[in-house]
Structure formats: structure tokens, C-alpha cells
């Protein structure tokens, strides 16, 4: 017997108070915190409650009774359905204010850290069409609105049910079809290429059906597009099935339609997931990489390379890192989670030596290439798990860092890594993070023994209109009482 559906609960005349983390706005109702997406401070709404716990509730706007005076019309025609952008309903200066507060709240509420000086957030000069990397998914089943479900014929064709776009949140097998929609935060060429391929495949459906994530069958799987400020345009198409002849026909048609493509790749992915990191990329035409310029250095970017998705704002982020590092020219610098060595090679111009550590081997290969092509001779890189590479013995062998830069993934640093850093005792630690919460947690651990003080911090908006924000913090060593000497000489018998 089917369980009876619970009647939805509504809250009337709720006043949205402020922006919160993760793209949510915050209100207080019935002595609980209420989190509401796609709202604006000052909105008065009727809220549909989705989940209610002891101290908080999650809800969605059922009816906007009185819009906030802060509200603006979103540029994107699928805003709210897409899920990629969370803040297009707010002016950009309000977004910056909210992100700055989010970063400050993490420091005080999670880390319980008093930053001596918090600098103003660094915003984008142009907050639109900034992304240099976009990934689209071909799906046999697209997400359908209630109106579309009602209007579809009973025997709808596969072409009417498929789509190419972004995954719908919480639905691994469905995408929001973006045909005819220009993504407002990506380079417009990405939307043009996506729509061309969609038209091409729909006109030849028997040869190029879209992938079915549940049945694991189909031909067209994913599309990756990368651009650079130097005019580079890389396209990578992942096929699941099909013949080499059909792949060549599609790739050739794409190359002829978009002669500005400078690097055209394809992959064959027959796995049950869309990850491409462990698959070989086949170059069909053009150069094997595209190039980007940053502070006079040229970086090569391959189909699987890591590179900041906002090229212009990355320059401002790295300028802030160099400013906080306070390099004089004779320092040993460690760059943890170095990626393709962008920070390490940038700082190498201003110090004695740089050692970069990264767990992705392909990224380290890129780091060496970028080092060599820029004539940098004082940077070296190591690939492997951070806990396994960064040990006391490693520090003894390579020299204690005067400055340590760390830019970990969203999960932050593992406790053993923090412990080695504390024993190495660099004079300055520059912590770059894409997650203010884990950054605050790690900074608290680094400061727990009284060895460091939090000198200053700054948020950098790398991702306008989304809920993400990058933060940079500087810790400075207080004294030498906790400094652990690590023998660098040879072992004695």
C-alpha cells in the first residue's frame, strides 16, 4: 500500500533578512533559521517548507508577495532552473557584499579567528561571460517542466525527450536542455558550438543518439570547451559508442563550421561515469594545447589541465598571493596543491626557489612544461599524495620553507599536512581557498598552539553570480619557541 503523501506546509509573509552561504538567503521563523534559495534580502514571500529540523528549516518561494527593492531582472532566461548561478537576481555590488560577509562569518563562527585586517573584496571588472571552461552533457532524457509534461504527445519521439546542457541538480540522468540559450557566464562561442552539435545530431539521430545514463547506451556523451584571452579555442567531444567513420564525419563538420577552433580533441568513454581524467585524449586537428598569458608568463593548457576558470580574475588573485608572500628574493617557497604550477612559476621570479607538490601527475607534467617554456630554472615539482610527499624527511632534504603557499581542494588540508607545516614553521603561510569554511577550520588548527597570528585576509570573487568565492589569508609566525629543528645534514653513525 502506497504511503499517503504529506500535505505541504506553508509559511505566510516571511521577510528575507540577508544573504547566507551556499546560495541561500536567511530568515527567522518560529525560533528557527530558514534557508531559502533564489531570494533577495528584503523580499516578503510565501514559503513552502521542504524540510524542518530542530533548529532550521529549508524552504522555497511559493509566491513573491513583495519583491525586495534590491531585486534586478536576471539576464539568463533559465535562471532558477539551471542552478549554476544563484545570485543573478541581485546587483553585482550586493553579491560582493554578501560574499564578503560569508567569508568573514566563516572566520568568526567556524574558526573563531580574529583577523587583524580584512581587506575589501576584489570584484570582477566585468562579471559576465568570464568562464574559460564549460562542460555540457548529452542526455537521452532531459528535464521536463510540468507544462512540458502536460503538452508532450503520448508517443513522444526520442528527439523530443533528449537534450544537451547542464545536469539538473540531484538528477544524474537528466539535463536541462539549453538549446537556443546563451550561457551568461561563459564565452558565447561555447553556446554556439553546443547548439550546432545539437542540430547536427538531431538531424542524424540514428547515427548520433544521445547517451542514456541508466541503460548505458548511445553515442554522444559530453562536450568540453576551453577558451583563452589569446584566442585559443579547444573542443573535446566524448563519444560512448559509434564507429571511427561517424566520429570523423562529425569532427570534420565541426571543424569546417568553426575554423577558429585551434585544438580539436575526442575521447571514447565506455565507462559508467563521465570522468575523463583516466582516459586518453585523441587529437583530431590543430595544436595539442592552447595558451594563456598571465603576468608575462605563457601557460600551456591541455584537455585535462587544471587552470583557473576566470583568467582575468586569476591574475588579481595571484597578485594578492604575491603581495601576502612578501618575497625579497632569497626565500625558499613551498607551493602545496600546486596544480599546473601557475602560482609556483609566478612566484619563482621573486624568490630563490620554489617547490610545488600536487597529487595529479598530469598537472605536474604541465607544471614542468610551463616552467621550461618560460625559462624558469628555480622551480621544481613533485607528484603524489600530499600526506605521503610532505613529510619531515622531505623538508629536511629540500630545506625549510620561509614562505608556504597552500591552495587545497574544497575539503581543505588533512591533519597530518597541518602538523608537518607547523613543525616546518615557515615565517609566513599564505592560504588560498575556494571554501571559506574549511579554510577557517585549517587556520584555527595552524593557530591553535599560538605559533601564528592572522595578519590579514581578502576575498576574491572568481565566480560572479554563483555562490562560490575565493579567499586568501596570511598567517605570520609569532615566535621561535615552537620551532622544531630538522636536521639537514647526513646521518651520523
Determine whether the annotation assigns residue 358 to a binding site.
yes
Coil, helix or strand for 312?
A: helix
In terms of Cα–Cα distance, which of 41, 57, 139 is closest to 93? 41
- Lookup: cell for 16: 528575507
- Number of Cα atoms under 13 Å in the Cβ half of residue 274: 20
The contacts of residue 210 (CB under 8 Å, 6+ apart) are 138, 139, 140, 162, 163, 164, 201, 218, 219, 220
Query: What's 131's DSSP letter?
Result: B
Determine whether the annotation assigns residue 337 to a binding site.
yes
Coil, helix or strand for 440?
A: helix
Q: Classify residue 64 as exposed, middle or buried by CB count within 10 Å of its CB (0-12, 13-18, 19+).
A: middle
**CB-CB neighbours of 490 under 10 Å:** 5
In terms of Cα–Cα distance, which of 82, 104, 79, 88 is closest to 40? 88
Task: Please tell me which residue in 76, 82, 434, 458 is annotated as part of the active site.
Answer: 434
- Lookup: cell for 140: 537521452
DSSP secondary structure of 177-234: E-TT---SSB-HHHHHHHHHHHHHHHTTTTTSPBPBTTTTB-SEEEEEEEE-TTS-EE
DSSP secondary structure of 85-114: -S-TTS-HHHHHHHHHHHHHHIIIIIS---
In terms of Cα–Cα distance, which of 168, 198, 195 is closest to 183? 195
Sign of the torsion angle spanned by Cα atoms 284, 287, 292, 297 = positive
Coil, helix or strand for 165?
A: strand
What's the length of the chain?
493
In terms of Cα–Cα distance, which of 179, 165, 204 is closest to 83? 165
**CB-CB neighbours of 363 under 10 Å:** 22
CA 36 to centroid of chain Cα atoms: 23
Determine whether the annotation assigns residue 308 to a binding site.
yes
CA 163 to centroid of chain Cα atoms: 24
CB 222 within 8 A of CB 239: no
- Number of Cα atoms under 13 Å in the Cβ half of residue 181: 19
Residue 82 annotated among the catalytic residues of the structure: no
CB 53 within 8 A of CB 78: no
Sign of the torsion angle spanned by Cα atoms 392, 398, 403, 404 = negative
Binding residues, by number, are: 308, 337, 358, 407
State the catalytic residues.
434
Binding residues for S-adenosyl-L-methionine, by number, are: 308, 337, 358, 407
Amino acid at each position: 500500500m502506497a504511503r499517503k503523501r504529506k500535505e505541504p506546509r506553508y509559511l505566510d509573509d516571511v521577510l528575507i533578512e540577508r544573504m547566507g552561504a551556499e546560495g541561500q538567503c536567511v530568515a527567522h521563523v518560529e525560533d528557527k533559521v530558514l534557508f531559502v534559495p533564489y531570494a533577495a534580502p528584503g523580499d516578503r514571500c510565501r514559503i513552502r517548507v521542504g524540510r524542518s529540523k530542530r533548529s532550521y528549516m529549508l524552504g522555497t518561494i511559493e509566491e513573491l508577495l513583495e519583491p525586495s527593492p534590491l531585486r534586478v531582472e536576471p539576464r539568463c532566461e533559465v535562471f532558477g532552473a539551471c542552478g549554476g548561478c544563484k545570485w543573478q537576481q541581485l546587483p553585482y555590488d550586493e553579491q560582493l557584499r554578501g560574499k564578503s560577509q560569508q567569508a568573514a562569518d566563516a572566520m568568526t563562527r567556524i574558526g573563531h579567528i580574529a583577523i587583524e585586517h580584512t581587506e575589501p573584496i576584489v570584484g570582477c571588472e566585468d562579471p559576465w561571460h568570464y568562464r574559460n571552461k564549460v562542460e555540457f552533457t548529452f542526455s537521452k532524457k532531459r528535464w521536463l517542466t510540468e507544462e512540458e509534461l502536460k503538452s508532450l504527445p503520448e508517443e513522444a519521439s526520442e528527439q523530443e525527450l533528449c537534450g544537451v546542457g547542464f545536469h539538473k541538480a540531484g538528477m544524474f540522468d537528466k539535463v536541462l536542455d539549453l538549446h537556443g540559450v546563451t550561457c551568461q557566464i561563459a564565452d558565447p562561442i561555447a553556446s554556439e558550438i553546443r547548439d550546432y552539435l545539437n542540430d547536427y545530431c538531431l538531424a542524424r539521430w540514428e547515427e548520433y543518439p544521445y547517451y542514456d545514463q541508466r541503460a548505458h547506451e548511445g553515442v554522444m556523451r559530453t562536450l568540453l570547451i576551453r577558451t583563452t584571452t589569446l584566442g585559443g579555442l579547444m573542443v573535446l567531444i566524448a563519444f560512448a559508442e559509434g564507429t571511427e567513420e561517424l566520429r570523423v564525419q562529425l569532427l570534420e563538420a565541426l571543424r569546417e563550421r568553426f575554423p577558429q577552433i585551434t585544438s580539436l580533441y575526442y575521447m571514447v568513454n565506455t565507462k559508467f561515469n563521465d570522468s575523463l581524467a583516466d582516459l586518453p585524449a585523441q587529437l583530431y586537428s590543430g595544436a595539442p594545447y592552447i595558451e594563456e598569458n598571465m603576468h608575462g608568463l605563457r601557460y600551456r593548457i591541455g584537455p585535462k589541465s587544471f587552470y583557473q576558470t576566470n583568467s582575468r580574475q586569476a591574475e588579481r588573485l595571484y597578485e594578492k598571493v604575491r603581495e601576502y608572500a612578501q618575497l625579497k628574493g632569497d626565500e625558499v617557497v613551498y607551493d602545496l596543491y600546486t596544480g599546473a604550477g601557475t602560482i609556483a612559476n609566478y612566484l619563482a621570479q621573486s624568490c630563490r626557489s620554489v617547490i610545488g607538490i600536487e597529487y595529479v601527475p598530469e598537472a605536474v607534467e604541465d607544471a614542468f612544461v610551463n616552467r621550461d617554456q618560460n625559462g624558469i630554472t628555480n622551480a621544481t615539482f613533485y607528484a603524489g599524495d600530499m600526506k605521503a610527499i610532505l613529510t619531515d624527511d622531505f623538508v629536511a632534504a629540500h630545506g625549510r620553507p620561509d614562505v608556504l603557499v597552500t591552495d587545497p581542494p574544497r575539503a581543505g588540508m588533512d591533519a597530518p599536512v597541518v602538523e608537518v607545516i607547523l613543525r616546518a614553521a615557515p615565517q609566513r603561510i599564505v592560504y588560498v581557498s575556494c571554501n571559506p569554511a574549511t579554510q577557517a577550520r585549517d587556520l584555527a588548527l595552524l593557530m591553535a598552539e599560538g605559533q601564528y597570528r592572522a595578519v590579514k585576509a581578502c576575498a576574491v570573487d572568481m565566480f560572479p553570480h554563483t555562490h562560490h568565492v575565493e579567499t586568501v589569508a596570511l598567517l605570520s609566525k609569532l615566535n621561535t619557541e615552537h620551532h622544531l629543528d630538522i636536521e639537514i645534514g647526513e646521518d651520523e653513525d
